[in-house]
Amino acid sequence: MAFRADIDWIETTVGGVSAVFDGPHATPVKVSEGPVFLGISCLSRGRLDLAAAEHLSEHDFKRWTRRVEPAAGDVVFSYETRLGEVALIPAGLRCCLGRRMALIRPDRAKIDSRFLLYYYLSPEFQELIRSRTVPGSTVDRILLEEFPKFPIRVPDLATQREVASLLSALDDKIELNRRMNQTLESMARAIFRSWFVDFDPVVANAAGRQPFGMSAEVAALFPARFAESNVGRLPTGWQSGSILKRASLLSGGTPKTSIAEYWGGQIAWASAADVSQCGECFLLRSERTITARGLEESAAQLIDAFATAIVARGATTGRMCMLGSSMAINQTCYALRSNSDCHFYMFCLAKEVIGDLVHVAHGSVFDTITTQTFESSCVVLPDPRIVIRFEQAVEPMFRKILACQKQSRILAALRDALLPKLMSGELRVRDAEKLVGAHV
């Protein structure tokens, strides 16, 4: 690996620039709120994901932080199971270490916290972790007593901060896009619930009020009364029925033989794993691709962008996202395609009713969604004119979400390309800044 001659890189160890602490080897009783219990599931590609984090009581928090209490700037990592995962503790977070978690407390006079985080994520250090991994009968691990001896190379503090600031700018923009997308999707789904679940415009019309945030033209499309139906009270003139009255159900397939010429083509081929691991509105790429001949052999079809892909079987049954481009799907998924090109309405509808689609009367969950599941579904079927108005209202939101996702993908690729070069000193920060400045 090439190193810059004009900067002195010091060869040291993790223990030479920081202190390493282990977490408790037990699990406290969880409570609904309180300090955060940091489990290994909270680590997500260099950041903390606390969306599903668990909590512990103040009493247990004191016990679980006797050895060490995580503080802002500490670097936490997993030393078992999810090896290579790491994150930085932000300011203001009260938390304790969970099982299989450890903490690096940087010596601020020797190493910058953010630089340490990115060094940990660098290909060089990740390969070191793999080389020092001890296989186990149940889980793989790195020996925590050996971890302080792991070698690292660091430049002077000023250079560390420049490198960390540059890479942080990319990650901060990616995180900003993610939060913006969450907000935009929440707004779109809130409008959906207001119009098609809570019937707020109908309630307002019935009371002689102007529906909040709605033009008089759109409000006039909603009735001012309710009528009883076989599914309960519905706005007058609205119906209920199968979701397939408003959408086509498309199934996937896989070639009967796995010959090489079917794979590695230009057509994205989405699977249940791709959809369930997407975690965003739009699926932009698939793990595998297929050739045109392979697609023909699979008896599947190329599905247009914005169709809603849904996992049909397995532990993640019911997970869904929209296709960000034309794709094929394999037999583990279905796709719903709106019959009226109201794709974002269909996505919101599917999100709203998916729990009912995969749930049976006795309360257990299907291992598999079938065609019959969709055919026998019962959803509210509004006036098509109102559906079109909803589509027009939320389309800019979803278009922005897609644009942000695409930008974040470019930024992540740029970060991943710059990371090893900056961590080795091969690339000057000022040269990297020019590349970053064009995208941030």
Both 142 and 33 in one domain: the answer is: yes
- pLDDT, tens only, 307-344: 999 999 888 899 999 999 999 999 999 999 999 999 99
Both 249 and 374 in one domain: the answer is: yes
Q: What average pLDDT does the structure give for the chain?
A: 91
Both 14 and 135 in one domain: the answer is: yes
Both 268 and 144 in one domain: the answer is: no
* Structural domain for 320, as ranges: 243-381
Q: Is residue 100 part of a domain?
A: yes
pLDDT-derived band of residue 2, with 50, 70 and 90 as boundaries?
very low
388-391 LR contacts (CB < 8 Å, sep 24+): 388/340, 388/342, 389/218, 389/221, 390/191, 390/192, 390/195, 390/196, 390/342, 390/345, 391/341, 391/342, 391/343, 391/344, 391/345
Q: Is residue 208 part of a domain?
A: no
Does this model's pTM top 0.95? My answer is no
Both 34 and 137 in one domain: the answer is: yes
pLDDT-derived band of residue 7, with 50, 70 and 90 as boundaries?
low
Q: Is residue 23 part of a domain?
A: yes
Q: Is residue 188 part of a domain?
A: no
In 177-273, which ranges are E strands? 226-229, 232-235, 239-241, 247-251, 263-270
* Among 155, 180, 210, residue at a domain's last position: 155
* Among 134, 155, 176, residue at a domain's last position: 155
Both 23 and 143 in one domain: the answer is: yes
Q: Is residue 413 part of a domain?
A: no
* Among 364, 381, 398, residue at a domain's last position: 381
Both 31 and 151 in one domain: the answer is: yes
CA distances from 171 to 84, 412, 440 (A): 18, 8, 10
What is the Cα–Cα distance from 357 to 308, expressed in whole angstroms?
15
CATH of the domain at 317: 3.90.220.20
Contact predicate 268/285, CB 8 Å: yes
- pLDDT, tens only, 343-399: 999 999 999 999 888 764 334 555 688 899 999 999 999 999 999 999 999 999 999
Among 120, 104, 103, which residue's Cα sits nearest to residue 154? 120
- Give percent of the chain with pLDDT exceeding 70: 96
Contact predicate 338/323, CB 8 Å: no
What is the Cα–Cα distance from 117 to 433, expressed in whole angstroms?
19
Q: Is residue 397 part of a domain?
A: no
Q: Is residue 48 part of a domain?
A: yes
Both 134 and 256 in one domain: the answer is: no
Both 132 and 267 in one domain: the answer is: no
- Give percent of the chain with pLDDT exceeding 90: 77
Q: Say how many Å lie between the first and final Cα of the chain, rounded.
A: 28
Both 254 and 366 in one domain: the answer is: yes
Both 133 and 251 in one domain: the answer is: no
Among 118, 160, 175, 194, which residue's Cα sits nearest to residue 393? 194
The values of phi and psi at residue 412, to 5°, are -65, -40
Q: What share of the chain is helix, strand, coil (3-state, %, to 5)?
A: 40, 25, 35
Mean pLDDT throughout 108-137?
95
The pLDDT value recorded for residue 1 is 40
Q: Is residue 126 part of a domain?
A: yes
pLDDT of residue 406 exceeding 90, the answer is yes
The pLDDT value recorded for residue 3 is 41
Give the chain's domain count: 2
What is the Cα–Cα distance from 198 to 380, expressed in whole angstroms?
11
Both 253 and 367 in one domain: the answer is: yes
Q: Which residues pair with 31 in a beta bridge?
A: 55
Return the structure tokens found at 19. Answer: 């202190």
40 in helix, strand or coil? helix
The string over 13-24, giving b where at least 16 C-beta atoms fall within 10 Å of a residue's C-beta and e elsewhere, is ebebbbebbbbb
